[in-house]
Amino acid sequence: MPYYTMPDGELLFVREIGQGEPVLVLSGLGMQSWQWLPFLLPNIKRYKFYIPDWRGFGGSRDCKIPHDIDAIQNHWRDIDSLITQIKLKDFILMAYSMGATTAMHGMQYGNLQDKLKAYLHIDQTPKIPTDDTWAFGLFGNKYFKFKRLLEDFSVFLHQYSNYRLVDDLPIAPRTELVQMWANFIKLQGSNKISPFIFNLALKHQQLQKFLLPSRRLDYLTWYIDNYLNHDEDYREAIAKLNCPTTFFIGEKSTLYPAAGQIQISNSINHAENIIFKQSGHTPLITEPFKFSREISAFLKKIN
């Protein structure tokens, strides 16, 4: 699997699988590229999938964090560089969660929409904050409670910035960090098994590092600060899409209320909604068979 050199000299890992028409796949926060394989394998005879691992994860886990830009700006800079290096044009893009935020950032600042043949947008809002102009930000009407959690996270992480890994933290602050993450999961209110797992981890220290999206404290800080301070509004940018567009929407999503996603979809020409009625923000986990079928159906409709 190849590595591509980014503008700052870091090597970004990109998983490549299949043959034929190119499809760029952008993951959500905490995902690794291999997690897409069960959903893409049925289509590898007709499509070549490019799936980058974001900095801090998978094959890109050792990439350095740039200090001049935030996570989403950096992700778009990396993706823009990748698009140039593999000479993508008139291509298919599938983007989930943070990957979709990166795609919308590219639409707003890099004319990404002009390069797309088709776009699949998976459970993401075009505006993270909830305010007087947008009621469907991250966690909807719970946004301000969520923001206070992010502020607590940020203060904690900056306090322990001299530690590199979660494993390196003393027992007391490590347990406190896991408890803060448990409070975040609880706010989602859509995962019934999480309380048991977190309670187990709070009692068994060796499990704690596996419950966080990254074992690297500097990466946790980078991503937490990004969501805390991200105030971009991509509604106008995504509304300008002219290519065939499909939205995968978790009807029970607490992170990104379905009503807001549907409102954005309705503002786009040639957009279609696929509703995952049993799912929240993670339809690839809660309805994997439907998720796989709908990906294949999305690709089939394009040609």
Confidence of residue 190 (pLDDT cuts 50, 70, 90): very low
Beta strands 11-18; 47-52: pairing state: antiparallel
**Are 12 and 111 found together in one domain?**
yes
Q: State yes or no: pLDDT of 211 exceeds 70.
A: no
Contact 256/136 with Cβ under 8 angstroms?
yes
282 and 240 co-located in one domain: yes
- Do both 122 and 66 map to the same domain? yes
Q: Is residue 69 part of a domain?
A: yes
Please identify, among 205, 229, 253, the residue that sits at the C-terminal boundary of a domain. Answer: 229
Closest CA to 301 of 148, 118, 28: 118
233-284: pLDDT as tens digits:
999 999 999 999 999 999 988 888 999 999 999 999 889 999 999 998 889 9
Regarding whether 117 and 254 lie in a shared domain, the answer is: yes
Please report whether residue 45 resides in a domain.
Answer: yes
In angstroms, the CA 100 to CA 222 distance is 18
**pLDDT, position 206:** 52
In a domain, 133, yes or no: no
Measured between alpha carbons, how far is 157 from 220 in angstroms, rounded to an integer? 8
Residues 162 and 119 in one domain: no
In a domain, 61, yes or no: yes
Is 16 part of a structural domain of the chain? yes
Element (H, E) at 237: helix 235-239
pLDDT in tens, 61-87: 999 999 889 999 999 999 999 999 999
- Reported as a single tens digit per residue, the pLDDT across 95-122 is 999 999 999 999 999 999 999 999 999 9
For residues 165 and 286, membership in a common domain is answered with no
Q: Which of the 8 DSSP states describes residue 22?
A: E
Whether residues 49 and 144 share a domain: the answer is no
Query: Is 84 within a domain?
Result: yes
28 and 99 inside one domain: yes
Residues 121 and 249 in one domain: yes
Closest by CA position to 216, among listed 286, 163, 144: 163
What CATH number does the domain containing 273 carry? 3.40.50.1820
Segments forming the whole domain that contains residue 255: 3-127+233-302
Position 192 pLDDT exceeds 80: no
Number of domains the chain contains: 2
Note whether 186 and 47 are same-domain residues: no
Looking at the structure, do residues 7 and 117 belong to the same domain, yes or no? Answer: yes
Whether residue 18 is found in the same domain as residue 119 = yes
Q: What is the pLDDT of residue 16?
A: 97
What average pLDDT does this structure show over 286-299? Answer: 96
Is 197's pLDDT higher than 70?
Answer: no
In a domain, 211, yes or no: yes
Looking at residue 240, its pLDDT comes to: 93
Domain endpoint, select from 210, 229, 248: 229
Nearest to 256 by CA among 78, 163, 124: 124
* Residue 22: per-residue pLDDT: 97
pLDDT for the residue numbered 49: 98
Asked whether residue 150 is domain-assigned, the answer is yes
Contacts of 93 (CB under 8 A, 6+ apart): 23, 24, 26, 103, 112, 116, 118, 119, 120
Look at residues 182, 205, 229 and tell me which one is the last residue of a structural domain.
229
What is the share, in percent, of the chain residues with pLDDT greater than 70?
Answer: 90
